[in-house]
Amino acid sequence: MDLNELFESKTIPIGVSIIVIAYLIGYQLFIASTIIRFLTPTAGLLFFFTGILVGMMKHDEIEQSIVAAGITSASGSIAITLITYIIVSMNDTYGYSQFLNIGPSVMDLLIFIVVGAIGGVIGYYIIREIFSQKTREHHF
């Protein structure tokens, strides 16, 4: 596994962009119903499906899929934590104290990284299965 190749591709920025955009859309939808904390099981699904997409994009080696999905999940977790802090700080004069209640805990971040990496493994096997079926169709 070549880490330079992993970071030179656009896979990780695309994955982080998906997480951030989906978070912002979800945050706006949930804020309308007075639910502030989006980092719940819904966010776990977001990281899982983003991990699947990243695993499908990085399908050369399974290690590459796992590492790319893990890095994407970690970067996405940090990005949405910062975005949450900025949004809360702009909307509330006591935002700095409320951030502790809104931001994800370290356990949330670790769970999101693991869930994203599991999604990367599943994405790797999905794309492998698609390619193997196409290969079998051409042999008949």
pTM given for the model: 0.77
Angle of CA points 85, 76, 126, to nearest 5°: 155
Q: How far is CA 88 from CA 5, 18, 35, 43, 44, in A?
A: 37, 21, 13, 18, 21
Given this model, what pLDDT does residue 91 score? 67
Given this model, what pLDDT does residue 133 score? 75
Cα-trace Rg, the chain: 17
Given this model, what pLDDT does residue 71 score? 92
88: nearest Cα among 102, 75, 78, 77: 102
Q: How many CA atoms lie within 13 A of 117 on its CB side?
A: 13
Q: Where are the domains of the chain?
A: 3-138
**pLDDT averaged per 10 residues, the chain (length 140):** 71 87 73 49 82 90 90 88 74 57 68 91 92 69
70, 120 contact by CB (below 8 A):
yes
Given this model, what pLDDT does residue 72 score? 92
Sequence-separated (6 or more) residues with CB below 8 Å from residue 58:
6, 9, 11, 64, 65, 68, 69, 120, 124
Given this model, what pLDDT does residue 53 score? 93
